[in-house]
Structure 1
Amino acid sequence: MTHQRGSVLVLTNPHDVTTDVVLRILAQRRVRVVRLDPGTDLHTGASLTAAYRTGGRRGTLRTPSRELDLTHVRSVWVRRPSPYEGPPELHGQDRRFAATQSLWGAGGILASLPGAHYVNHPWHNRAAEYKPAQLASAQRLGFTLPDTLITNDPAEARAFAAQHTGGVVYKPLWNTSYTVNGTPRTVWVREVEPREITDAVAVCPHLFQATVVKAFDARVTAVGDRLFGLRIASPDLDWRRRQNLMSCTPVTVPPPVARSIAGYLADFRLVYGAFDFAVTPDGSWQFLECNPNGQWAWQPEQVTDAIAQAIANQLEKGPNP
């Protein structure tokens, strides 16, 4: 198949079943799609070329089954591509060199396609993943926030915990891979006592937040101007820990929260965002975070289907005229 004008380019790993939900919709609509995992495919048979000159440019992606003119890509869906780690047959500095060249070369080409509509642009995703930036934007845009402290000063952390008699939780600033005796572990949100805060806080910044007395959690999945609100009832402080114990039902997003979400997406230049809130008994929606590339296919079937349709709409329509 050659030069698919107006194709949708999907960047994700081969095990991403969430992508398949949207691809089936695009196939039903007869929208041309090319799927690529640049971190692995480019050293297992795919090739990527870009040429630049005064007054023009050209680019081509070739896979074992496709040839795509990169100047005619309608939309790019940046889902969950594998990291650039280099060909496995290389080792040491040679593999590191190949990996970094791929990141800055292939990654740069795929993030610079002329006129393509990105959901989301990878650089915007990265900028929006910093929790301090999220909190600063949320505060500026009128969200209600729990008191939050980010510090590597143990004295500051202990004082913050002592000040908030209703309790304080610790949250990691990034979901870093972590193992104990070779077994992968997840660092969940957890409550901490002032006596638990040791001088080890000085090793790196830590995020502490006042505990919110919740009536329920809420997830709002935003796709363009479409919002999909979900009420989450869970026995756990962090509902992600045991999702088999939670129950979910659709919930209406209050208009002030919806307006702040629209401003937040514009602030970070996002098309998609997964917003998490703690909702208090008096109805206050407390902003916790926004994952610019959060998972969504775990939600009830009718919500998952509606989100998939909205993402397909974004990819099919392409850039604004």
Structure 2
Amino acid sequence: MTKRVLIVSNSFDLHADLVTPYLNDYHAEPFRIDLDCFPRDYQIVQLFWHGKLISNITHLPSGQCLNLDEVGAIWLRKPADYAFISNDLAPQELAYAKLETEHALFGLLYPLDCYWMSHPIQLRGAMWKAEQLHRATKFGFNVPRSLVTNCAQQVRVFKQQVPGEIIFKPLSSSSLAADAVAESERIAEGIPTTIIDDAMMNNLEAVNELPCHFQEYVDKQYELRVTVIAGETFAAKIHSQDDVRTAVDSRDISANIIYEATQLPADIAQRCREFVSSYGLNFSALDLIVTPQDEYVFLENNPNGQFLYVEQLIPEFQLVKAVAATLAAEAQCRS
């Protein structure tokens, strides 16, 4: 039986859009679940009958049907709020509908003996920033001095003990969870990595409200975005210090800074691969700093990080094709 690739994402995911043609070229016959249309536009059946499990899913608008026995690889991309036929569910009805849908969906997928990029259990286990720092030290990475606390006084002590500047960076959402609420309810669109100045130090009481993440500021020669796909590393050198807008946080897209392919030292590349593999992940994107003294410093791991922007800036990487080739090949290994 020819195995197929199942993509679980949302209808706004350009990454999935671009990977799909390659999967078709590899005869992987992709089937896509867009969670922002699920279960409204899908019909699922999971039947236990005389010790046998029969599972299938149909995309109602297209009529495309997938027998879950045909799945050889799953690409778990980006989440989204579920959609239901009724738009006027009461709050408790909606809460219950979401819980039941999640149980039904992952109860459908978890029994599958297939290749995952990556499994939701591994993804969740790899997302905690403080745990990442602890694990990174075990793999020999240099890690910035860091503090997570909801005690303003601890931040003052930390600032006194760190020889240079300190920064604030969110643990969970750089958008400050703006994407989790309606646009009319947003009070801010996000916050970049921010150097804590004297004015901020004089207004630290907000830290007592909830845990916050602080780190020492590490001087940079340049930054690295290291994408690991099935054990292969793609290292992008980011010239973040060429523009004041990206000197502290390289994600400011208004700055036209250079991204270029670079070769990691063998030990650093191996360290990145082993770090990602330790979570059981088949994909991840690591952010590193290279200091003026040529030291490599670990910042964070993004277990389901974006990679299309890297390929757009460094076309030779062909990351989209690499993802598709991996998924197709791994699916066929299970034929």
TM surpasses 0.5: yes
2:10 is paired with a residue whose SS is coil
Cα drift, residue 61 of structure 1: 0.8
Partner of 1:226: 232
For CA contacts below 8 A with separation 6 or more, give which structure has more relative contact order: 2
Cα drift, residue 113 of structure 1: 3.9
1:113-132 equivalence runs, <5 A: 113-132=111-130
Partner of 1:192: 196
Does the aligned pair in 2 maintain the 1:88–1:95 contact within 8 Å? no
Cα drift, residue 308 of structure 1: 1.4
Aligned residue type for 1:168:
I
1:1-321 equivalence runs, <5 A: 5-44=2-41, 46-52=42-48, 55-64=51-60, 65-84=63-82, 86=84, 87-110=86-109, 112-175=110-173, 176-178=176-178, 182=186, 184-193=188-197, 195-196=201-202, 198-234=204-240, 235=243, 236=246, 237-301=248-312, 302-303=314-315, 306-318=318-330
Cα drift, residue 247 of structure 1: 1.5
| Bigger mean CA deviation after superposition, 231-240 or 196-205 | 196-205
Q: Whole-Å Cα distance in 2 between the matches of residues 298 and 28 of structure 1? A: 23
Aligned residue type for 1:201:
V
Q: Whole-Å Cα distance in 2 between the matches of residues 243 and 289 of structure 1? A: 23
Does the aligned pair in 2 maintain the 1:127–1:268 contact within 8 Å? yes
2:46 is paired with a residue whose SS is strand
The one-character-per-residue Cα deviations of 1:133-189 (angstroms, maximum 9, x if unpaired) are 211211111111111111112111111112113100001111132489845411211
2:270 is paired with a residue whose SS is helix
Does the aligned pair in 2 maintain the 1:161–1:193 contact within 8 Å? no
Unmatched 5+ stretches in structure 2: none
The one-character-per-residue Cα deviations of 1:182-220 (angstroms, maximum 9, x if unpaired) are 454112110013624512212111111110100011100
Aligned residue type for 2:22:
I
Q: Whole-Å Cα distance in 1 between the matches of residues 210 and 121 of structure 2? A: 25
Unmatched 5+ stretches in structure 1: none
Cα drift, residue 295 of structure 1: 0.7
The one-character-per-residue Cα deviations of 1:114-138 (angstroms, maximum 9, x if unpaired) are 2111101122112211111211211
2:310 is paired with a residue whose SS is coil
Q: Whole-Å Cα distance in 2 between the matches of residues 88 and 186 of structure 1? A: 29
Percent of pairs with identical residues: 24
Does the aligned pair in 1 maintain the 2:38–2:83 contact within 8 Å? no
Distance 1:19 1:205, change over 3 A: same
Cα drift, residue 29 of structure 1: 2.0
Aligned residue type for 1:34:
F
Does the aligned pair in 2 maintain the 1:296–1:304 contact within 8 Å? no
2:308 is paired with a residue whose SS is coil
The RMSD of aligned alpha carbons is: 2.2
Cα drift, residue 266 of structure 1: 1.9
Distance 1:123 1:53, change over 3 A: farther
